[in-house]
Amino acid sequence: MTEYTAGRHFDLVIIGTGSGNSILDSRFADWNVAIIEKGIFGGTCLNVGCIPTKMFVHTADIAATPENSAKFGVDETLDAVRFGDIRDRIFGRIDPIAAGGRDYRLRHEDNRSVTVFEGVAHFSGPKTLVVQPNDGSDRQVISADRIVLAGGSRPIIPDIDGLANVDYHTSDTIMRLEKLPHTLVVIGSGFIAAELAHVFSAFGVDVTILARSDRFLRDEDADISARFTELAKQRWDVRTNRGVIRVEQSGGQIILHAAGPAGTEKISGDQLLIAAGRRPNSDLLNPSAAGIAVTDDGYVAVDEFQRVLSTAGGVADGVWALGDICSPWQLKHVANHEQRIVQHNLLHPNALRAADHRFVPHAVFSAPQIASVGLTEQRARELGIRYVTTKQDYAGIAYGWAMEDETGFAKLLADPANGRLLGAHIIGPQASTLIQPLIQAMSFDLSARDMARGQYWIHPAMPELIENALLNLPLD
Protein backbone atom coordinates (compact mmCIF):
# COMPACT_ATOMS: atom_id res chain seq x y z
CA MET A 1 0.00 0.00 0.00
CA THR A 2 1.34 3.43 -0.96
CA GLU A 3 1.79 5.83 1.94
CA TYR A 4 0.51 9.38 1.46
CA THR A 5 0.84 12.47 3.61
CA ALA A 6 -2.40 14.38 4.06
CA GLY A 7 -3.03 16.90 1.32
CA ARG A 8 -2.43 20.65 1.46
CA HIS A 9 -4.10 23.29 -0.64
CA PHE A 10 -2.28 26.26 -2.18
CA ASP A 11 -3.21 29.40 -4.03
CA LEU A 12 -0.52 28.62 -6.60
CA VAL A 13 1.73 25.69 -7.45
CA ILE A 14 4.70 26.15 -9.79
CA ILE A 15 6.33 23.04 -11.24
CA GLY A 16 9.92 23.80 -12.21
CA THR A 17 12.49 26.36 -11.07
CA GLY A 18 13.85 27.61 -14.38
CA SER A 19 11.92 30.60 -15.71
CA GLY A 20 8.98 29.53 -13.56
CA ASN A 21 10.96 30.48 -10.47
CA SER A 22 10.95 34.11 -11.62
CA ILE A 23 7.16 34.41 -11.42
CA LEU A 24 7.16 35.19 -7.72
CA ASP A 25 7.83 38.75 -6.63
CA SER A 26 6.50 41.01 -3.90
CA ARG A 27 3.04 41.06 -5.49
CA PHE A 28 2.64 37.40 -4.52
CA ALA A 29 3.68 37.97 -0.89
CA ASP A 30 0.24 37.12 0.49
CA TRP A 31 -0.26 34.07 -1.75
CA ASN A 32 0.23 30.60 -0.34
CA VAL A 33 2.61 29.12 -2.93
CA ALA A 34 4.26 25.76 -3.54
CA ILE A 35 7.27 25.24 -5.78
CA ILE A 36 8.13 21.74 -6.98
CA GLU A 37 11.59 20.90 -8.34
CA LYS A 38 12.73 17.39 -9.23
CA GLY A 39 16.35 18.32 -9.98
CA ILE A 40 18.71 21.25 -9.52
CA PHE A 41 17.33 24.72 -8.92
CA GLY A 42 17.65 27.06 -11.88
CA GLY A 43 16.56 24.80 -14.71
CA THR A 44 18.23 23.74 -17.93
CA CYS A 45 19.67 27.09 -19.03
CA LEU A 46 21.58 27.82 -15.85
CA ASN A 47 22.82 24.33 -15.07
CA VAL A 48 23.27 22.34 -18.28
CA GLY A 49 22.26 24.61 -21.14
CA CYS A 50 22.76 28.11 -22.45
CA ILE A 51 25.01 29.55 -19.77
CA PRO A 52 27.63 26.84 -19.18
CA THR A 53 27.77 25.94 -22.87
CA LYS A 54 28.49 29.55 -23.83
CA MET A 55 31.16 29.77 -21.15
CA PHE A 56 32.75 26.69 -22.71
CA VAL A 57 32.26 28.11 -26.22
CA HIS A 58 34.02 31.36 -25.37
CA THR A 59 36.92 29.41 -23.93
CA ALA A 60 36.98 27.25 -27.06
CA ASP A 61 37.07 30.38 -29.23
CA ILE A 62 40.21 31.45 -27.38
CA ALA A 63 41.77 28.00 -27.73
CA ALA A 64 41.04 28.00 -31.47
CA THR A 65 42.82 31.28 -32.30
CA PRO A 66 46.12 29.61 -33.33
CA GLU A 67 44.26 27.81 -36.14
CA ASN A 68 43.72 31.13 -37.92
CA SER A 69 46.53 33.35 -36.70
CA ALA A 70 49.12 32.61 -39.40
CA LYS A 71 47.21 34.42 -42.15
CA PHE A 72 47.52 37.60 -40.07
CA GLY A 73 51.28 37.21 -39.80
CA VAL A 74 51.05 36.05 -36.21
CA ASP A 75 52.47 32.68 -35.20
CA GLU A 76 50.66 31.19 -32.23
CA THR A 77 50.60 27.76 -30.63
CA LEU A 78 48.23 26.14 -28.18
CA ASP A 79 50.41 24.75 -25.42
CA ALA A 80 47.77 23.10 -23.25
CA VAL A 81 44.10 22.96 -22.38
CA ARG A 82 43.59 22.52 -18.64
CA PHE A 83 40.12 21.04 -18.92
CA GLY A 84 39.75 20.49 -15.19
CA ASP A 85 40.50 24.15 -14.55
CA ILE A 86 38.06 25.23 -17.25
CA ARG A 87 35.31 22.99 -15.91
CA ASP A 88 35.87 24.00 -12.31
CA ARG A 89 35.94 27.71 -13.16
CA ILE A 90 32.65 27.48 -15.03
CA PHE A 91 30.75 25.36 -12.55
CA GLY A 92 32.45 27.13 -9.67
CA ARG A 93 30.41 30.12 -10.75
CA ILE A 94 27.20 28.32 -11.74
CA ASP A 95 26.78 25.80 -8.93
CA PRO A 96 26.74 28.43 -6.15
CA ILE A 97 24.06 30.36 -8.07
CA ALA A 98 21.88 27.25 -8.25
CA ALA A 99 22.51 26.49 -4.58
CA GLY A 100 21.82 30.10 -3.64
CA GLY A 101 18.51 30.04 -5.49
CA ARG A 102 17.48 26.94 -3.58
CA ASP A 103 18.60 28.39 -0.26
CA TYR A 104 16.71 31.63 -0.96
CA ARG A 105 13.44 29.81 -1.57
CA LEU A 106 13.90 27.51 1.42
CA ARG A 107 15.11 29.96 4.06
CA HIS A 108 14.76 33.64 3.18
CA GLU A 109 12.03 35.59 4.93
CA ASP A 110 10.78 36.80 1.53
CA ASN A 111 9.55 33.23 1.03
CA ARG A 112 7.77 32.63 4.32
CA SER A 113 4.58 31.85 2.37
CA VAL A 114 6.42 29.57 -0.09
CA THR A 115 6.72 25.81 0.41
CA VAL A 116 9.39 23.98 -1.58
CA PHE A 117 8.87 20.36 -2.56
CA GLU A 118 11.97 18.62 -3.87
CA GLY A 119 10.65 15.70 -5.85
CA VAL A 120 8.73 14.50 -8.88
CA ALA A 121 5.11 15.59 -9.35
CA HIS A 122 2.32 14.18 -11.46
CA PHE A 123 -1.36 14.87 -11.77
CA SER A 124 -3.86 12.57 -10.11
CA GLY A 125 -6.81 14.71 -11.14
CA PRO A 126 -7.70 18.29 -12.11
CA LYS A 127 -5.65 20.72 -10.02
CA THR A 128 -4.43 17.84 -7.87
CA LEU A 129 -0.84 16.58 -7.76
CA VAL A 130 1.02 13.72 -6.18
CA VAL A 131 4.59 14.60 -5.19
CA GLN A 132 7.18 11.87 -4.63
CA PRO A 133 9.98 13.46 -2.57
CA ASN A 134 13.53 12.84 -3.72
CA ASP A 135 14.48 11.67 -0.24
CA GLY A 136 12.14 8.68 -0.48
CA SER A 137 9.72 9.87 2.17
CA ASP A 138 5.96 9.44 1.85
CA ARG A 139 4.21 10.81 -1.19
CA GLN A 140 2.26 13.99 -0.65
CA VAL A 141 -1.00 14.98 -2.29
CA ILE A 142 -1.45 18.70 -2.89
CA SER A 143 -3.98 20.82 -4.72
CA ALA A 144 -4.15 24.41 -5.87
CA ASP A 145 -6.41 27.05 -7.34
CA ARG A 146 -3.77 27.75 -9.98
CA ILE A 147 -0.96 25.61 -11.35
CA VAL A 148 1.91 26.69 -13.60
CA LEU A 149 3.65 24.01 -15.64
CA ALA A 150 7.27 25.05 -16.17
CA GLY A 151 8.87 21.63 -16.01
CA GLY A 152 11.20 22.02 -18.97
CA SER A 153 12.65 19.34 -21.23
CA ARG A 154 15.21 16.54 -21.27
CA PRO A 155 17.56 15.02 -23.86
CA ILE A 156 16.06 12.72 -26.47
CA ILE A 157 17.65 9.28 -26.27
CA PRO A 158 17.23 7.45 -29.60
CA ASP A 159 16.17 3.83 -29.68
CA ILE A 160 19.48 2.22 -30.69
CA ASP A 161 20.33 -1.40 -30.02
CA GLY A 162 22.85 -1.66 -27.18
CA LEU A 163 22.81 2.03 -26.25
CA ALA A 164 21.50 1.35 -22.75
CA ASN A 165 24.52 -0.84 -22.07
CA VAL A 166 27.22 1.74 -22.87
CA ASP A 167 28.47 4.80 -21.01
CA TYR A 168 27.15 7.62 -23.16
CA HIS A 169 26.76 11.31 -22.42
CA THR A 170 24.22 13.99 -23.23
CA SER A 171 24.55 17.77 -23.03
CA ASP A 172 23.38 17.39 -19.42
CA THR A 173 26.50 15.46 -18.42
CA ILE A 174 29.37 15.88 -20.89
CA MET A 175 30.51 19.26 -19.61
CA ARG A 176 31.43 17.67 -16.27
CA LEU A 177 33.83 15.06 -17.67
CA GLU A 178 36.81 14.31 -15.44
CA LYS A 179 39.23 14.66 -18.35
CA LEU A 180 39.22 15.28 -22.07
CA PRO A 181 38.89 12.22 -24.29
CA HIS A 182 41.19 11.71 -27.25
CA THR A 183 38.22 10.98 -29.49
CA LEU A 184 34.54 11.90 -29.31
CA VAL A 185 31.69 10.57 -31.45
CA VAL A 186 28.57 12.72 -31.68
CA ILE A 187 25.18 11.46 -32.80
CA GLY A 188 23.21 14.43 -34.08
CA SER A 189 23.51 17.45 -36.36
CA GLY A 190 21.52 20.15 -34.60
CA PHE A 191 22.65 23.12 -32.56
CA ILE A 192 23.75 21.05 -29.54
CA ALA A 193 25.98 18.90 -31.74
CA ALA A 194 27.35 21.97 -33.55
CA GLU A 195 28.21 23.84 -30.37
CA LEU A 196 29.75 20.98 -28.41
CA ALA A 197 31.68 19.68 -31.42
CA HIS A 198 33.28 23.12 -31.64
CA VAL A 199 34.10 23.11 -27.94
CA PHE A 200 35.78 19.72 -27.85
CA SER A 201 37.58 20.03 -31.18
CA ALA A 202 39.01 23.40 -30.13
CA PHE A 203 40.29 21.69 -26.99
CA GLY A 204 42.18 19.16 -29.13
CA VAL A 205 39.70 16.28 -29.26
CA ASP A 206 39.20 14.40 -32.55
CA VAL A 207 35.47 14.72 -33.25
CA THR A 208 33.35 12.50 -35.49
CA ILE A 209 29.78 13.53 -36.30
CA LEU A 210 27.13 11.03 -37.39
CA ALA A 211 24.19 12.81 -39.02
CA ARG A 212 21.01 11.21 -40.32
CA SER A 213 20.44 13.89 -42.95
CA ASP A 214 22.73 15.23 -45.65
CA ARG A 215 23.56 18.46 -43.81
CA PHE A 216 23.88 20.18 -40.46
CA LEU A 217 21.18 22.41 -38.97
CA ARG A 218 18.55 21.53 -41.55
CA ASP A 219 15.96 23.84 -39.98
CA GLU A 220 18.10 26.86 -40.84
CA ASP A 221 17.83 28.67 -44.15
CA ALA A 222 19.19 26.29 -46.79
CA ASP A 223 22.07 28.62 -47.72
CA ILE A 224 23.13 28.91 -44.08
CA SER A 225 22.87 25.17 -43.50
CA ALA A 226 24.87 24.39 -46.64
CA ARG A 227 27.66 26.82 -45.74
CA PHE A 228 27.90 25.55 -42.17
CA THR A 229 28.02 21.94 -43.35
CA GLU A 230 30.79 22.82 -45.80
CA LEU A 231 32.85 24.46 -43.05
CA ALA A 232 32.12 21.72 -40.51
CA LYS A 233 33.56 19.11 -42.85
CA GLN A 234 36.83 21.05 -42.85
CA ARG A 235 37.10 20.80 -39.04
CA TRP A 236 35.50 17.52 -38.07
CA ASP A 237 34.99 14.04 -39.47
CA VAL A 238 31.41 14.61 -40.60
CA ARG A 239 29.53 11.59 -41.90
CA THR A 240 26.14 12.48 -43.29
CA ASN A 241 23.25 10.18 -44.22
CA ARG A 242 24.22 7.79 -41.44
CA GLY A 243 21.85 5.82 -39.24
CA VAL A 244 23.32 4.22 -36.13
CA ILE A 245 21.95 0.69 -35.81
CA ARG A 246 23.97 -0.73 -32.92
CA VAL A 247 26.33 0.39 -30.15
CA GLU A 248 28.70 -1.61 -27.98
CA GLN A 249 31.53 -0.97 -25.53
CA SER A 250 34.80 -2.88 -25.54
CA GLY A 251 38.27 -2.22 -24.17
CA GLY A 252 37.48 1.32 -23.11
CA GLN A 253 36.11 2.20 -26.54
CA ILE A 254 32.53 2.79 -27.63
CA ILE A 255 31.90 1.19 -31.01
CA LEU A 256 29.06 2.31 -33.25
CA HIS A 257 27.72 0.41 -36.23
CA ALA A 258 26.21 2.83 -38.72
CA ALA A 259 24.40 2.29 -42.00
CA GLY A 260 25.39 4.70 -44.75
CA PRO A 261 25.53 5.12 -48.51
CA ALA A 262 28.40 2.60 -48.80
CA GLY A 263 26.89 0.05 -46.41
CA THR A 264 27.56 -0.58 -42.74
CA GLU A 265 30.66 0.89 -41.10
CA LYS A 266 32.21 0.85 -37.63
CA ILE A 267 33.16 4.04 -35.81
CA SER A 268 34.80 4.06 -32.40
CA GLY A 269 35.58 6.70 -29.81
CA ASP A 270 36.57 7.22 -26.20
CA GLN A 271 33.31 9.02 -25.46
CA LEU A 272 29.88 9.16 -27.07
CA LEU A 273 27.67 12.24 -27.03
CA ILE A 274 23.98 11.86 -27.81
CA ALA A 275 22.86 15.21 -29.26
CA ALA A 276 19.57 14.26 -30.87
CA GLY A 277 17.56 17.17 -29.46
CA ARG A 278 15.36 17.60 -26.41
CA ARG A 279 11.82 16.52 -25.59
CA PRO A 280 9.28 18.23 -23.32
CA ASN A 281 8.74 16.74 -19.88
CA SER A 282 4.95 16.72 -20.25
CA ASP A 283 4.75 12.92 -20.15
CA LEU A 284 6.20 12.88 -16.63
CA LEU A 285 3.21 14.86 -15.36
CA ASN A 286 0.49 12.35 -16.32
CA PRO A 287 -1.41 15.17 -18.04
CA SER A 288 -4.36 13.00 -19.08
CA ALA A 289 -5.36 12.63 -15.43
CA ALA A 290 -6.03 16.37 -15.34
CA GLY A 291 -7.61 16.53 -18.79
CA ILE A 292 -4.66 18.49 -20.14
CA ALA A 293 -4.20 18.49 -23.91
CA VAL A 294 -0.83 17.60 -25.41
CA THR A 295 0.27 18.15 -29.01
CA ASP A 296 1.43 15.38 -31.32
CA ASP A 297 5.02 16.42 -30.53
CA GLY A 298 4.46 16.06 -26.80
CA TYR A 299 4.15 19.74 -25.87
CA VAL A 300 1.51 20.90 -23.41
CA ALA A 301 -1.04 22.71 -25.57
CA VAL A 302 -1.61 26.37 -24.72
CA ASP A 303 -3.54 29.33 -26.10
CA GLU A 304 -2.19 32.79 -26.83
CA PHE A 305 -2.45 33.72 -23.13
CA GLN A 306 -0.36 30.67 -22.07
CA ARG A 307 -3.46 29.01 -20.62
CA VAL A 308 -3.32 25.24 -20.89
CA LEU A 309 -5.90 23.68 -23.18
CA SER A 310 -8.23 20.93 -22.07
CA THR A 311 -8.85 17.60 -23.78
CA ALA A 312 -12.55 18.39 -23.39
CA GLY A 313 -12.20 21.62 -25.37
CA GLY A 314 -11.52 25.13 -24.18
CA VAL A 315 -8.99 25.81 -21.44
CA ALA A 316 -8.09 23.78 -18.38
CA ASP A 317 -9.29 26.03 -15.59
CA GLY A 318 -6.49 27.62 -13.60
CA VAL A 319 -3.61 25.84 -15.37
CA TRP A 320 -0.87 27.73 -17.21
CA ALA A 321 2.35 26.69 -18.92
CA LEU A 322 5.59 28.27 -20.08
CA GLY A 323 8.97 27.34 -21.49
CA ASP A 324 10.19 24.11 -23.01
CA ILE A 325 7.28 22.05 -21.75
CA CYS A 326 4.91 23.92 -24.08
CA SER A 327 7.15 25.89 -26.43
CA PRO A 328 8.63 24.21 -29.53
CA TRP A 329 11.30 26.93 -29.72
CA GLN A 330 12.97 25.60 -26.56
CA LEU A 331 14.74 28.91 -25.97
CA LYS A 332 15.41 30.66 -22.68
CA HIS A 333 14.41 34.08 -24.00
CA VAL A 334 11.07 32.62 -25.08
CA ALA A 335 10.58 31.02 -21.67
CA ASN A 336 11.37 34.34 -19.98
CA HIS A 337 8.84 36.15 -22.19
CA GLU A 338 6.20 33.53 -21.46
CA GLN A 339 7.01 33.78 -17.74
CA ARG A 340 6.24 37.50 -17.82
CA ILE A 341 2.96 36.80 -19.62
CA VAL A 342 1.93 34.13 -17.11
CA GLN A 343 2.96 36.35 -14.20
CA HIS A 344 0.79 39.21 -15.46
CA ASN A 345 -2.17 36.96 -16.21
CA LEU A 346 -2.06 35.35 -12.77
CA LEU A 347 -2.22 38.80 -11.19
CA HIS A 348 -4.73 40.27 -13.67
CA PRO A 349 -7.15 37.51 -14.68
CA ASN A 350 -9.60 40.05 -16.10
CA ALA A 351 -7.01 41.83 -18.26
CA LEU A 352 -5.09 39.02 -19.94
CA ARG A 353 -2.07 39.66 -22.12
CA ALA A 354 -1.17 37.50 -25.11
CA ALA A 355 2.32 36.17 -25.74
CA ASP A 356 4.08 37.59 -28.78
CA HIS A 357 5.80 34.87 -30.79
CA ARG A 358 5.88 36.69 -34.12
CA PHE A 359 9.62 37.25 -34.37
CA VAL A 360 11.46 34.68 -32.26
CA PRO A 361 15.22 34.78 -32.91
CA HIS A 362 17.78 32.13 -32.15
CA ALA A 363 21.53 31.68 -32.40
CA VAL A 364 23.95 28.79 -32.72
CA PHE A 365 27.22 29.43 -30.88
CA SER A 366 29.56 27.30 -32.93
CA ALA A 367 32.38 28.24 -35.28
CA PRO A 368 31.13 30.15 -37.15
CA GLN A 369 28.19 31.58 -35.26
CA ILE A 370 24.71 31.52 -36.78
CA ALA A 371 21.73 33.73 -35.98
CA SER A 372 18.27 33.78 -37.47
CA VAL A 373 14.85 35.40 -37.15
CA GLY A 374 11.72 35.13 -39.25
CA LEU A 375 11.11 33.15 -42.41
CA THR A 376 13.68 31.07 -44.22
CA GLU A 377 13.58 31.28 -48.00
CA GLN A 378 12.25 27.73 -48.28
CA ARG A 379 9.44 28.54 -45.84
CA ALA A 380 8.51 31.71 -47.71
CA ARG A 381 8.20 29.66 -50.90
CA GLU A 382 6.05 27.05 -49.13
CA LEU A 383 3.70 29.77 -47.89
CA GLY A 384 3.48 31.39 -51.31
CA ILE A 385 4.67 34.73 -49.96
CA ARG A 386 6.09 37.25 -52.42
CA TYR A 387 9.59 38.18 -51.37
CA VAL A 388 12.95 39.46 -52.52
CA THR A 389 16.27 38.45 -51.06
CA THR A 390 19.88 39.55 -50.94
CA LYS A 391 23.18 38.41 -49.51
CA GLN A 392 25.99 40.51 -48.12
CA ASP A 393 29.37 38.88 -47.56
CA TYR A 394 31.56 39.81 -44.61
CA ALA A 395 34.31 40.02 -47.21
CA GLY A 396 32.49 42.99 -48.75
CA ILE A 397 32.80 45.31 -45.74
CA ALA A 398 35.89 46.99 -44.36
CA TYR A 399 35.88 45.17 -41.04
CA GLY A 400 35.47 41.93 -42.92
CA TRP A 401 38.77 42.74 -44.62
CA ALA A 402 40.34 43.25 -41.19
CA MET A 403 39.12 39.81 -40.12
CA GLU A 404 40.07 38.18 -43.43
CA ASP A 405 36.67 36.52 -43.36
CA GLU A 406 35.86 34.81 -46.65
CA THR A 407 32.95 32.57 -45.68
CA GLY A 408 30.43 34.58 -43.64
CA PHE A 409 27.38 36.38 -44.98
CA ALA A 410 24.06 37.92 -44.06
CA LYS A 411 20.92 37.00 -45.98
CA LEU A 412 17.72 39.05 -45.81
CA LEU A 413 14.21 38.45 -47.10
CA ALA A 414 11.77 41.32 -47.49
CA ASP A 415 8.38 42.21 -48.90
CA PRO A 416 9.24 44.02 -52.16
CA ALA A 417 6.17 46.25 -51.96
CA ASN A 418 6.74 47.86 -48.57
CA GLY A 419 10.28 46.88 -47.61
CA ARG A 420 9.23 45.10 -44.43
CA LEU A 421 11.69 42.39 -43.42
CA LEU A 422 10.38 38.83 -43.51
CA GLY A 423 13.51 37.02 -42.38
CA ALA A 424 17.17 37.52 -41.53
CA HIS A 425 19.93 34.94 -41.39
CA ILE A 426 23.61 35.46 -40.59
CA ILE A 427 26.57 33.10 -40.50
CA GLY A 428 29.87 34.51 -39.33
CA PRO A 429 31.61 36.31 -36.45
CA GLN A 430 29.29 37.85 -33.86
CA ALA A 431 26.17 36.80 -35.77
CA SER A 432 24.19 36.64 -32.53
CA THR A 433 24.94 40.32 -31.89
CA LEU A 434 24.61 41.58 -35.45
CA ILE A 435 21.08 40.24 -35.84
CA GLN A 436 19.62 42.30 -33.00
CA PRO A 437 18.89 45.48 -35.02
CA LEU A 438 17.06 43.31 -37.55
CA ILE A 439 14.93 41.80 -34.79
CA GLN A 440 14.21 45.37 -33.70
CA ALA A 441 13.24 46.39 -37.23
CA MET A 442 10.82 43.49 -37.56
CA SER A 443 9.35 43.99 -34.09
CA PHE A 444 8.75 47.72 -34.57
CA ASP A 445 7.67 47.49 -38.21
CA LEU A 446 10.56 49.45 -39.74
CA SER A 447 11.14 49.20 -43.46
CA ALA A 448 14.53 48.22 -44.82
CA ARG A 449 15.08 51.66 -46.34
CA ASP A 450 14.13 53.50 -43.14
CA MET A 451 16.34 51.19 -41.13
CA ALA A 452 19.30 51.71 -43.46
CA ARG A 453 19.07 55.45 -44.01
CA GLY A 454 17.37 56.62 -40.82
CA GLN A 455 20.50 56.37 -38.67
CA TYR A 456 24.28 56.53 -38.69
CA TRP A 457 26.23 53.28 -39.05
CA ILE A 458 29.70 53.37 -37.53
CA HIS A 459 32.48 52.96 -40.09
CA PRO A 460 34.37 50.71 -40.25
CA ALA A 461 32.46 48.35 -38.00
CA MET A 462 30.72 45.02 -38.42
CA PRO A 463 27.17 46.46 -38.39
CA GLU A 464 27.92 47.75 -41.90
CA LEU A 465 27.20 44.16 -42.91
CA ILE A 466 23.57 44.85 -41.97
CA GLU A 467 23.50 48.33 -43.52
CA ASN A 468 24.76 47.07 -46.87
CA ALA A 469 22.41 44.09 -46.87
CA LEU A 470 19.44 46.39 -46.24
CA LEU A 471 20.50 48.74 -49.03
CA ASN A 472 21.00 45.88 -51.47
CA LEU A 473 17.45 44.53 -51.20
CA PRO A 474 15.84 44.87 -54.67
CA LEU A 475 12.62 46.51 -53.48
CA ASP A 476 9.89 47.78 -55.80
- What is the tens place of the pLDDT at every residue in 421-462? 999 999 999 999 999 999 999 999 999 999 999 999 999 999
Q: Are residues 169 and 141 in the same domain?
A: no
Q: Are residues 78 and 132 in the same domain?
A: yes
CB-based contact 376:221 (threshold 8 Å): yes
Q: Are residues 187 and 149 in the same domain?
A: no
pLDDT of residue 6: 56
β-strands 33-37, 114-125 pairing: parallel
In a domain, 356, yes or no: no
Q: How far apart are CA 259 and CA 242, in angstroms?
A: 6
Q: Are residues 67 and 183 in the same domain?
A: no
Q: How far apart are CA 322 and CA 300, in angstroms?
A: 9
Length of the chain (residues) = 476
Shortest CA distance to 300 belongs to which of 328, 266, 273, 275? 328
Bridge partners (DSSP) listed for residue 121: 131
In a domain, 380, yes or no: yes
Q: Are residues 427 and 301 in the same domain?
A: no
Domain of 372: which CATH number? 3.30.390.30
Please tell me the pTM assigned to this model.
Answer: 0.95
CA distances from 39 to 99, 119, 121, 172 (A): 12, 8, 12, 12
CB-based contact 368:432 (threshold 8 Å): no
Domain of 179: which CATH number? 3.50.50.60
**Structure confidence by residue, pLDDT tens digits, 207-227:** 999 999 999 999 999 999 999
Bridge partners (DSSP) listed for residue 424: 373, 412
Query: Which candidate in 9, 108, 182, 459 is catalytic?
Result: 459
pLDDT of residue 69: 96
The answer to whether residue 198 is catalytic is no
Q: Name 51's Cβ contacts closer than 8 Å, sequence gap at least 6.
A: 45, 94
Shortest CA distance to 275 belongs to which of 375, 359, 338, 199? 199
Q: Are residues 41 and 87 in the same domain?
A: yes
In a domain, 116, yes or no: yes
In a domain, 292, yes or no: yes
Q: How far apart are the first and last CA of the chain?
A: 74
- Range(s) of the domain holding residue 137: 4-155+279-347
CB-based contact 58:37 (threshold 8 Å): no
In a domain, 188, yes or no: yes
**Structure confidence by residue, pLDDT tens digits, 230-267:** 999 999 999 999 999 999 999 899 999 999 999 999 99
CB-based contact 241:213 (threshold 8 Å): yes
Q: Are residues 28 and 138 in the same domain?
A: yes
pLDDT of residue 1: 30
pLDDT of residue 3: 46
SS3 assignment, position 188: coil
Q: How many domains does the chain have?
A: 3
Q: Are residues 63 and 125 in the same domain?
A: yes
DSSP secondary structure string for all residues of 12-33? EEEE-SSGGGGS--GGGTTS-E
End of a domain among 253, 276, 299? 276
Q: Are residues 296 and 232 in the same domain?
A: no
